[in-house]
A and B are shown apart, each in its own frame.
Chain A
């Protein structure tokens, strides 16, 4: 341990929900997208799931809203070291979409991609079983454009770069293909509890 002379830091928070190396951002919700925020209206939004599935399918805004609604209430964690507690997102569980397209037995990973062309890779197991959503509401209001609206992927148990804004689709694969940040040195999985920030962590 290399102690920094004279450094005391913030008052210690006894919060079992705070992963290692993270701090509580409180009411702040920083925006960190690397690209220009797109002007994407709900009418122009679509979400496609294809690749290793029995029945590839594209949903538009209204079609996606006919699926059963689902809410995530909990915490989110950004790799830049802020965490945000007690957030509430509304949308549809990703399981509801995957139940329709039916991934094949060989499927192991997905690449999620945005209407901007942003990509991020995830193990299929991380986006199934009630752990991932397509979210279009935050705190009961439409998700704002800078936070990924009209709809974003939400995978709250992984660092938040995995929760692709302006989600356009998932390509289901039988192997892992690094997305944008993962090609730029970030970890393939990004589990905050194991502090998987960068490749090699």
Chain B
């Protein structure tokens, strides 16, 4: 099967056409990933850096499947967004929330140490990928910022002049993942507590409208990532502000 283009076209133009061709070969193969570094990001999130020597490379926004195996053969596997920008060195980074009762995130946050080995397959799925070609408006909440940070890092690494903005929601400055790394492209929104002089509240039209107003010629590609409740809220804000639905891509946790 080399011909993969559908010839049937539904009457409605789909919201999220795939951005890139996906390597089925890379997705089919489980590879060993060796943990090389752990960095705490917030009280609930940490970044895990892996060496995956045969990693095929990825685009910002893609995810992978990770699996852990117990000694009785029990396997737990989860999808995780990739946090790091593409590099040629065979390294990838994941940033994981410590999910209450989570068997995989729980292992990472309480047991894992450098030298441990897990298995990954990927990169997976092209629909949320941002190759860096078009102006991008990124909106995330909590650990939804992870795939968006891969885009920001990629943008910086390439010294790109393609317009890019990040609107990110966190409960407090302490809970804002990558706080020290965010720059002029980023507008943080704090929902529970904020630094002096910064308003506290939910992301709203007042945050989104100015970004739509400064849209570059040809408009934004919008990427939304977070919980389903956040994704529903943020995508409605985008539509209300005039962003076309067929240029909004959504990655929901689950």
Task: Answer whether residue A104 sits at the interface, using C-beta atoms and an 8 A cutoff.
Answer: no
Contact check: which of B13, B15, B121, B232 meets A34 at CB < 8 Å? B15
Interface flag for A141 (CB, 8 Å): no
A174 to chain B, nearest CB (A): 12
Query: Roughly how many angstroms separate A10 CA and B248 CA in the complex, as a whole number?
Result: 36
Q: Which of A4, A30, A179 contacts B117 (CB 8 A)?
A: A4
Q: Which of A21-55 contact B (CB under 8 A)?
A: 21, 23, 30-38
B126: A residues at CB distance < 8 A? 184-185
Tell whether, in the assembled complex, residue B127 and residue A199 are in contact, meaning their CB atoms are under 8 Å apart.
Answer: no
Chain B residues closer than 8 Å to A1, beta-carbon distance: 69, 73
Task: Knowing A116-B15, A185-B125, A198-B24, say if A34 contacts B251 (CB, 8 Å).
Answer: yes
A35:B14 contact, CB within 8 angstroms: yes
**Contact string, B70-113, partner A, CB cutoff 8 A, digits 1/0?**
11111111110000000000000000000000010001000110
C-alpha spacing A33/B14, complex, angstroms: 12
CB proximity of B47 to chain A, nearest CB, Å: 19
Question: B250 touching A6 by the CB < 8 A rule?
Answer: no
Residues on the A chain within 8 Å of B111, using CB: 5-7
The number of residues on chain B lying at the interface, defined by a beta carbon within 8 Å of a beta carbon of chain A, is: 62
Whether the Cβ atoms of A184 and B18 lie closer than 8 Å is: yes
B12 CB contact (under 8 Å) in A9, A12, A117: A117
Given contacts A7-B69, A35-B248, contact A12 B24 (CB under 8 A): no
- Footprint of B on A, CB under 8 Å? 1-10, 12, 21, 23, 30-38, 78, 80-82, 111, 113-119, 146, 168-169, 171, 173, 177-181, 183-185, 197-201
28 residue pairs bridging A and B, Cβ less than 8 Å apart: A2-B69, A4-B118, A7-B69, A7-B76, A9-B70, A9-B74, A9-B76, A23-B76, A32-B254, A34-B251, A35-B15, A35-B249, A36-B235, A37-B232, A37-B235, A78-B254, A80-B254, A81-B77, A111-B6, A118-B15, A146-B232, A180-B16, A185-B22, A185-B24, A199-B24, A199-B27, A200-B25, A200-B27
